[in-house]
Structure 1
C-alpha cells in the first residue's frame, strides 16, 4: 500500500465524520444516527457515494437535513470527509460499509430519503443480483425508508436505467417521474448544479444523464 493511501487511512481513523470498522460507534450506530448528529433533522443517505461530492454538495444546500454517504472504498471517503471539514459542514458524515449490509447500520424507517448516484451498472446477466435496483435491494430500501421517503437514481448507463424501469414496473410505487436526459428536462433545477466526479466525466464524453425518483406505495 502506498504511503499516501496509508496517510488517508490514518486520517479516516481520526475523523469524527467517518463511521467505519474499528471505531466503537460502528457497532452501535444502527438506529442512532440522529444522536450521532445531535439533532432530529431528516436523514438523507447516498449509496455508492464515491468521493462524496454529492453528499457534501447537498449538505451545503440543505443545512436543515443530515447526510450520510455510504461506500466501501476508504480512500474515496477520505476525499468527502476532508471536503466536509474544509467547508465547515457538520451535517454530513460517511459510512464505510458494503451496501448489501445496510440493515446492519440503519434501523427500519430510519432514513427519510435515499440517493443512488452512478452505481456500477453490473451489465453482465450473471451480476443482476448485484445491481443496486435489483428487487432484493428495493425490498431493503422499502424497509429502511420512512413511508413517504423518496428514492432517487442518477446514472449514465442506458442498460441500468432500462433495467430499473422494467423492475419498477413490477413494484407498487407512486409519484414516479423519470427522464433519459436530466439536463434537458424541467427537473434539472432540482439538482442545484451538483455533479459528481463521474457525472462530469460522463457528461464530457457525451453521455446523457438519466434520472428517476419515486416513493414506495
Structure 2
C-alpha cells in the first residue's frame, strides 16, 4: 500500500464525521438524534466512493442528513475531508461492507437511498453482489420508511436493464425510468450532480441511465 493511502487511512480514523466498521453500532436507530444531533430525515448513498454525491446533496438540502457508505477508507477520506473543511455538518460517512448494512440501521430509519455508479458486477456468477439484486433490495425495504424510495444512476446499460427487470418481477413501484438522463425531462439540480467517474463517462459519450422506485 502506498504512503499516501496509508496517510489517508490514518487521517480518516480521526475525522469526527466518519464511523469505522470497528467502532461497533452505536448509532443504529439513532443516527439523526445521536450522530447528527437533530431530527431530520436520513438519506444514504451506497458505494459512495469519494463522496461527491453525498457532499453535494448535503449542500443542496441542509434540512436533511446524508451518510455516504463505502468500504474503502482512502476514498471516503476525500468526501469526509471536504465536508469538514467546508462546514457541511449534515454529512457523515460509514466505512462498512454494504452486505452488513442492516446491522447499522434500524427498521424504517432511512428516508431515501442513492446508488450512484456502482460496480455492475456483470458476471452471472456475481449477480448476488449487484447492489440492486433481490438480496440487497430486501435489505433496503427493511430499512426504508414506507414512503422511502431508491435512486439508481448508472452508465451501465445492462445493470439498468437488470434493475428494471427486478422492479417488474417484484412488483415494485416505478416513478422514473430513463436511458438518457441528460436528454430527458428529469435532469434537475439533484440529478445533474456529477461524480468524477460520471464526468469521465460523459466525455466518452456514454449515456446515463436513471431509475427511481419504491417498495
Asked if TM exceeds 0.5, the reply is yes
Contact 2:70 2:76 in 1 (8 A): yes
Q: Secondary structure at the match of 1:14?
A: coil
Which residues in structure 2 correspond to 1:66-105 (within 5 Å)? 66-105=65-104
Equivalent position SS for 2:201: helix
Distance change >3 Å, CA 49–CA 116, structure 1 → 2? same
Partner of 1:143: 142
| 1:159 is the counterpart of 2:181 | no
**1:36 partnered with 2:19:** no
The residue aligned with 1:13 is 13
Distance 1:48 1:84 in 2: 17
Return structure 1 stretches of 4+ with deviation > 3 angstroms: none
3-state DSSP class of the match of 2:121? coil
**SS of residue in 2 equivalent to 1:188:** coil
TM-score by length of 2: 0.96
Structure 2 portions without partners, runs of 5+: none
Aligned to 1:184: 183
Query: How far did residue 9 of structure 1 move?
Result: 1.2
Q: Distance in 1 between matches of 2:158 and 2:130?
A: 11
Match of 1:3 in 2: 3
Aligned match of 1:59: 58
Task: Give the structure 2 partner of residue 122 of structure 1.
Answer: 121
* RMSD (Å), alpha carbons: 1.1
Q: What secondary structure, in the 3-state scheme, does the structure 2 residue paired with 1:39 have?
A: coil
Shift of 1:19: 0.4
Post-superposition Cα deviations, 1:50-105, rounded to whole Å, max 9, x if no partner, equal: 00000000000000000000000000000000110121100000000011110011
Distance 2:189 2:146 in 1: 22
Deviation for aligned residue 1:192: 5.6
TM-score where L is the length of structure 1? 0.95
- Alignment match, 2:108: 109
For residues 21 and 151 of structure 1, the distance between their equivalents in structure 2, rounded to whole angstroms, comes to 24
Structure 1: unaligned runs, 5 residues or longer? none
Q: State the secondary structure of the residue aligned to 2:114.
A: strand
Structure 2 equivalent of residue 49 of structure 1: 48
CA distance in 2, matches of 1:56, 1:93: 9
Cα deviation per residue 1:138-157 (whole Å; 9 max; x = unaligned)?
A: 11110000000011000000
User: CA–CA distance in 1 between the matches of 2:122 and 2:166?
Assistant: 15
Q: Find the aligned partners of 1:191 and 1:90 in 2 and give their Cα distance.
A: 19
For 1:168, the equivalent position in structure 2 comes to 167
Query: Is residue 2:25 matched to residue 1:27?
Result: yes
Q: Tell me how far apart the structure 2 counterparts of residues 174 and 82 of structure 1 sit (CA, whole Å).
A: 37
Q: What is the count of residue pairs matched by the alignment?
A: 214
Indicate the SS of the match to 1:28: coil
